[in-house]
Amino acid sequence: MNKKNVVLLGDSIRLFGYGAALPAMLGEAYSVWQPEDNSRFVSYLLRQLFDHREEIEKADIVHFNTGEWDICELFGDGPFTPEETYVSQTLRIADLLLSRNRTVIFATTTPVKAENLYNRNETIRRFNGLIVPRLAEKGVLINDLYSAVAADIDRYISDDTIHLSEAGAALCAEQTARIIRAASV
């Protein structure tokens, strides 16, 4: 049996969340590689494509997420990454991944608890709404983690108001495993 090679890229929602549980959930039929580094902002993730090109080139499936750092409003003057930059950089990432004839999956940015001081669900929904149709037009599969977690934010987001709880990480890993398996057929 040939194992499917999967690469996971993304911010701390991947690193400390669904990415930790996903390899065991996918089982022996899949080999999962992911960087030990947080992909932070969309532009940092774009830079990581160069650093991790060997792993990416071997992948049958690349799954990525970005957004929490980009939509963060630290200074009261809007998101850290302007909408146009977020969209153009995410599309650039998708184009680079798709140019290698990979199956590419994008996970939407997950919601935060209402008391989060710097990230707002209204902004997350707006950014997800801007990028999802554009990626889908290119043939990128969409893993709607936002909707899954939004079903019960108090249960699926930890007390730090932004990261996945243990239940949230399990939920997102299960959904991601389903999408990766479906894309493998």
| pLDDT 10s digits, 12-31 | 999 999 999 999 999 999 99
Q: Give the Å distances, CA to CA, from 53 to 7, 19, 56, 88.
A: 11, 19, 5, 20
Bridge partners (DSSP) of residue 4 are 30
CATH architecture of the domain with range 4-183: 3-Layer(aba) Sandwich (3.40)
pLDDT grade, residue 1 (50/70/90)? low
Q: Which pLDDT tens digit goes with each residue over 57-85?
A: 999 999 999 999 999 999 999 999 999 99
Does residue 74 contact residue 118 with C-beta atoms inside 8 Å? yes
Q: Which pLDDT tens digit goes with each residue over 32-61?
A: 999 999 999 999 999 999 999 999 999 999
Q: Give the Å distances, CA to CA, from 19 to 107, 118, 139, 149.
A: 12, 24, 23, 15
What the block records as the tokens of 28 is: 């022996």
Q: Which pLDDT tens digit goes with each residue over 129-178?
A: 999 999 999 999 999 999 999 999 999 999 999 999 999 999 999 999 99
- The H-assigned helical ranges of the chain are 12-13, 19-26, 42-51, 53-58, 68-71, 83-98, 121-137, 145-150, 153-156, 166-183
Q: What is the pTM (predicted TM-score) of this model?
A: 0.97
Q: Which pLDDT tens digit goes with each residue over 84-142?
A: 999 999 999 999 999 987 799 999 999 999 999 999 999 999 999 999 999 999 999 99
Other CB atoms within 10 A of residue 92 CB? 14
Check residues 99 and 185 and name the one with the higher pLDDT. 99
Q: State the virtual CA torsion across 14, 19, 25, 26 in degrees, nearest 10.
A: 100
Q: How far is residue 181's CA from residue 85's CA, in Å, rounded to a whole number?
A: 32
What the block records as the tokens of 7 is: 């690469």
Q: How far is residue 169's CA from residue 165's CA, in Å, rounded to a whole number?
A: 6
